[in-house]
Structure 1
């Protein structure tokens, strides 16, 4: 299986490494990246790869079995649109769009598409979410009438210290984090979201330090709780900037309430302030008969029955690849390339989640309820 890569970023590089562990017959043969020279010089595993300056040049000369897009977020839509008409299977990183304009362009392109697309939503395919869906679908809890979801992110510094701090690239943190949570919740409840109201705050990661200030150049680098000068590994070269500088973008907390077509609603809250053991991520799915609690940090699913004195606890072996979700997505992508499967994490799912996030952002900016609709 020959792989073409558009944007050889760290996430896609790790996914390709995992794909090759699962399926050793996969090899990267072509790359398009603005850092072609850097990649040639620093990644020995790509010794025989052919490099192109543009996607158009690559597609004119190459016909890989699959393409993977790992550019920065703001380019996901543009690059995907170059691929969809080719019929080549596509693995697309999330978010699939960072603006409403891009989302509408991508939706239009998808309606004419020939390529099957796997969107990088590993949480929907995680062992925890699959177990939760199995229990919900069994009727054990009754119909789901309320969802309470939380994402307290202990590694939130990534959104303020490196390129993620640029809101033009990220589209805001609903699109960076909630896009996963909205998707796995949609997957489990299997209901249509129809409206959203939301609020965001920026209370901590703001300040009057000079724009572009790096931690290494700050006079408080040895006393600041957020200083990155002692980091090692990949973070050392990317977590460079002061998160209290005047050019630090992104909200540091946000909440949304989503109404579904049945009348059921979901409330979701995320923040990027907590550290260490204060981190948690998961949701409670409440029916009349029982409540299911999914906790990604403890790798547990619990079922609390409402009318019998019983609590069921499931300890799930999740692995380090997004709780088993990356493996499911990559196996699916491989089988699509072989002509033996269709996507289990489609561009329809990616577009719906992006639309929910964009409408939540619009709601927070305007103080209004927003219909989750393309009109």
Structure 2
């Protein structure tokens, strides 16, 4: 049997562990660490009888040695837990962001380099069907050497970052770490260049206000008219991303941000993200420009278009969506962990890439807060 332990059995823990169970009949969930033990036992019903429940990570690691681990706790705890697992040299999936501050990131880097353990980061943009196809086209030489990148992420479900626990900046580390970490990784995946400098700006123009701290939509006098009202969305049968007021005085996180990244060759990438765009304004679009051609793709359409610069030809690729909510990316990261456990293969999304992306995001935050260019190096 392949014994998998889950540290943090929330939404992501459930998703990833379910994929593992479906992918290999020899996988079993042997242990869970979560402070909602009784609730999870009831949810899992009879299958919970085969699972050991622990109150702490230390208790789990001292009593068992699973074949693999999923770390899917809240963001601010990722580093501390990962360091403990690295010391046991057990391969694991670590949810992003790998760290929410530079001090944690440096500690994680040191522990990882001492351990030599394989870690898989769920970077779904590079792992899913569209990301893999884009990589193949970029490496074909069709575009020439890529000399410029433009990327935009307009998040149509952005209210989750103001109505759910994500609203706490101490947990998220800000929205570069929550969303741009994927996009920065995708750019890195295609370019294969070292980033050297970053300049960034961020704004909070919409999701701010003077509503009381802790206010929930159901207690608000504007519950029937506010465009972000959970009560209103539920009444319409629409998705609800949280219950808290987006316009309360305790709402954290910026609601838009942009960055310019320079790379070792001298070329640069521009990136912008927004969290109040809705419906058809949603996009997660990348443009990679070489002298020969431009490749454009969007994760909302799963279509790639290649515009040849010196002919009138436009090539269009319709890429099938993968079989999970992240276009196949979640299944791919689970397969990577299984391949490490059963075959000794290296991770498809190694810790180095997770740390590099987190470093870029942290430097973007610092650039925006200090209004300075930030060098991409492992120091303050």
Q: What secondary structure is seen at the aligned counterpart in 2 of 1:179?
A: helix
Equivalent residue runs for 1:293-312 within 5 Å = 293-312=296-315
Deviation at 1:323, TM superposition (A): 1.6
Structure 1 unmatched ranges of 5 or more: none
Length, aligned pairs only: 374
Q: Which moved more, 1:276-285 or 1:132-141?
A: 132-141
**Which of residues 315, 321, 326 in structure 1 aligns to 2:325?**
321
* Superposed CA offset, 1:299-318 (max 9, x none): 00110000011000000002
Q: Which moved more, 1:116-125 or 1:349-358?
A: 116-125
Give the match for residue 358 of structure 1: 362
Equivalent residue runs for 1:108-127 within 5 Å = 108-127=110-129
Equivalent residue runs for 1:64-213 within 5 Å = 64-213=66-215
Give the match for residue 333 of structure 1: 337
The answer on 1:260 being equivalent to 2:263 is yes
**Alignment TM-score, normalising by the size of structure 1:** 0.97
The answer on 1:250 being equivalent to 2:253 is yes
Deviation at 1:34, TM superposition (A): 2.0
Q: What secondary structure is seen at the aligned counterpart in 1 of 2:272?
A: strand
The answer on 1:342 being equivalent to 2:346 is yes
Would the aligned equivalents of 1:86 and 1:114 in 2 still touch at CA under 8 Å? Answer: no
Would the aligned equivalents of 1:32 and 1:53 in 2 still touch at CA under 8 Å? Answer: yes
- d(CA) in 1 for partners of 2:75, 2:217: 25
**Which of residues 269, 273, 279 in structure 1 aligns to 2:282?**
279
Deviation at 1:114, TM superposition (A): 3.8
Q: Which moved more, 1:327-336 or 1:63-72?
A: 327-336
Would the aligned equivalents of 2:122 and 2:329 in 1 still touch at CA under 8 Å? Answer: no
Deviation at 1:341, TM superposition (A): 1.2
* Superposed CA offset, 1:171-227 (max 9, x none): 000000000000011001111111100000000000000000000000000011110
- d(CA) in 2 for partners of 1:240, 1:20: 32
- d(CA) in 2 for partners of 1:185, 1:23: 32
Would the aligned equivalents of 1:83 and 1:115 in 2 still touch at CA under 8 Å? Answer: no
Deviation at 1:326, TM superposition (A): 1.6
Q: What secondary structure is seen at the aligned counterpart in 1 of 2:359?
A: helix
**Which of residues 261, 265, 270 in structure 1 aligns to 2:273?**
270
Q: Which moved more, 1:38-47 or 1:112-121?
A: 38-47
Give the match for residue 216 of structure 2: 214
Deviation at 1:37, TM superposition (A): 2.6
Structure 2 unmatched ranges of 5 or more: none
Would the aligned equivalents of 2:225 and 2:232 in 1 still touch at CA under 8 Å? Answer: no
Equivalent residue runs for 1:8-27 within 5 Å = 8-27=9-28
Q: What secondary structure is seen at the aligned counterpart in 1 of 2:230?
A: coil
Runs (4 or more) in structure 1 with deviation over 6 Å come to none
**Alignment TM-score, normalising by the size of structure 2:** 0.96
